[in-house]
């Protein structure tokens, strides 16, 4: 395995770690807090979580030649914990995809009348940075709710923890 692939595997592992840390915090909150309307890109914490899960699942399905399939999330009727578990499972599946596939392979798809050809590595990078962006929004949403005991999810914190494990 070349070092570039290892970097993407590391980022996939970091993504899981950061998601798990924020999920652990969110799991301690009442559903009313998680669904409270808040000023942000999405109107609640749970809508933001659904968006994050949808992006990971959509890109993973597209790279697996299943199209942009996020019906599981669109039609979701489970509990909050079930949603967190689904998101965690998708993040794990995404990491497994990164491990097993040639990241130089081109993903080809049409969207809104345009044709795209994007290497899997760029899709992976997009998914991971997108997760960082929205986890940051989740932190700000938690602060709007008056919650200040929020875990670190920064990449450098993950690196430091890996050095001590």
Binding residues for a divalent metal cation, as ranges, are 51, 130, 134
- Bridge partners, residue 114, by sequence: 111
Q: Which residues are annotated as a binding site?
A: 51, 130, 134
Contacts of 87 (CB under 8 A, 6+ apart): 19, 23, 49, 52, 53, 56
- Cα(107)–Cα(16) distance, integer angstroms: 23
Closest-CA residue to 134 (of 93, 92, 87, 71): 87
């Amino acid at each position: 395995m070349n070092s570039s692939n290892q970097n993407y595997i590391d980022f996939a592992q970091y993504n899981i770690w950061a998601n798990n840390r924020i999920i652990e915090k969110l799991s301690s909150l009442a559903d009313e807090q998680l669904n409270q309307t808040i000023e942000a890109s999405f109107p609640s914490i749970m809508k933001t979580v659904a968006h994050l899960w949808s992006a990971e699942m959509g890109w993973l399905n597209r790279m697996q030649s299943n199209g942009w399939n996020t019906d599981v999330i669109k039609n979701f009727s489970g509990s909050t914990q079930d949603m967190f578990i689904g998101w965690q499972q998708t993040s794990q599946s995404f990491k497994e995809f990164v491990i097993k596939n040639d990241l130089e392979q081109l993903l080809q798809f049409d969207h809104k009348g345009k044709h795209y050809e994007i290497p899997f590595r760029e899709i992976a990078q997009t998914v991971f940075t997108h997760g960082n962006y929205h986890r940051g929004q989740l932190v700000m949403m938690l602060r709007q709710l008056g919650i200040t005991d929020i875990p670190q999810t920064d990449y450098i914190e993950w690196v430091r923890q890996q050095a001590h494990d």
